[in-house]
Amino acid sequence: MAVSDYQLIEAWQKVLTLSKLEAGQTVTILTSPSTHPQTLSCATIAAQSKGAIVNRLDLPPVNAEKALSRDALAYLGTTPLTGNKAAIAALKASDLVLDLMTLLFSPEQHDILESGTKILLAVEPPEILVRTVPIEADRKRVKAASALIAASKQMHITSEAGTDLRCPLGEFPAISEYGYVDEPGRWDHWPSGFTLTWPNEGGATGRIVIDKGDILLPQKKYVAEPITLTVENGYATRIEGGIDAQLLDEYMKSFNDPEGYAISHIGWGLQPRAHWSTLDLYDRENTIGMDARAFEGNFLFSLGPNNEAGGSRTTACHIDIPLRHCTVKLDGVDVVRNGKVLDGGVNE
């Protein structure tokens, strides 16, 4: 259902307030040809209403000749900022960047964040943004879950479908994504609501069963028959199953990069306003699937890079896979049981 400008402006104002935007600060809105026009116009008005100095930086798309889909996360190669010193300087000079084009997994983004600039990514359709406006309780819940990860040495994930994966922890930080940027140098994504980390390099081992109804991203597809991944020394070494397994395997092989098979981030969803079923209601090109990544109780794992957490592994291939009905243990203690988070929920 369509969203009024008033609703979207109000949503932006709430997020900007949570992000501690102050009058006189500089906001640069990063856009591309795929930026939603209503999101852009309402973000501009909301930032101006807070007394900010607002700029727009529009950049051309890249990687079309390499990516196999139009999804912004389908190919993590060079970005429109690669070698673009003038654009990087403008973003570094900003207090807040509103990323309406999707700038991810790039050295340029890390460089901008290290300058103290905050970056908030927001590329989902307006109605999803309005439904998933973050609240302070989201931050508290995600932070508490991240603290549990930070204090643990192992994450063990099981399911009745056959998943049995053990991931040693401690080499990489626990990350909190709750939908706004309230600290200098912080990156976040609206919508979100999950905690994650990365297994110790080369340490993940076991089996992952992607069951019927689980989701592949950026394919934006519900799996119709199980896919089994054998995980050895931190890498998926075998992909077995029917046609869905063949499609995933062929897609990953197209990158011709063994690093794409590495187990990347692991964690679970904590956003009660996100829904597993939403992906089925959208055309594939109208969403990047944040409901799927954030819905409460999923186990979200990925294949591909770890440079986002300070690791050295970079690859253009990045697959996010949220699983349902998993049990997640930290040092032997359940934090998610059969897809239900055991923290008591979030109170608005």
Q: What is the mean pLDDT of residues 158-172?
A: 98
Q: Is residue 230 predicted with pLDDT exceeding 90?
A: yes
Class of residue 51 by CB neighbours under 10 A (exposed 0-12, middle 13-18, buried 19+):
exposed
Strand bridging mode 235-241 / 26-31: unpaired
Write out pLDDT tens, residues 185-203: 999 999 999 999 999 999 9
Rounded Cα distance between 243 and 324, Å, is 20
Distance, CA of 201 to chain centre: 20
Mean pLDDT in the chain? Answer: 94
pLDDT at 67: 65
Q: What is the mean pLDDT of residues 175-180?
A: 98
Least confident of 100-109, 167-176, 220-229, 261-270: 100-109
Q: What is the mean pLDDT of residues 50-76?
A: 80
Q: Please, what are the domains in the chain?
A: 5-131 (3.40.50.2300), 136-341 (no CATH)
Which residues fall within 8 angstroms of residue 338, CB to CB, at 6 or more apart? 159, 160, 325, 326, 327
Q: Is residue 307 predicted with pLDDT exceeding 80?
A: no
pLDDT at 62: 74
Q: Is residue 348 predicted with pLDDT exceeding 60?
A: no
Q: What is the mean pLDDT of residues 304-324?
A: 87
> Hey, what are 246's tokens?
């063949």
Tell me the β-bridge partners of 144: none
pLDDT at 89: 97
In this structure, what are the phi and psi dihedrals at residue 110, rounded to the nearest 5 degrees?
-60, -40
For residues 257 and 316, is the Cβ–Cβ distance under 8 A?
yes
Which residues fall within 8 angstroms of residue 40, CB to CB, at 6 or more apart? 29, 31, 56, 100
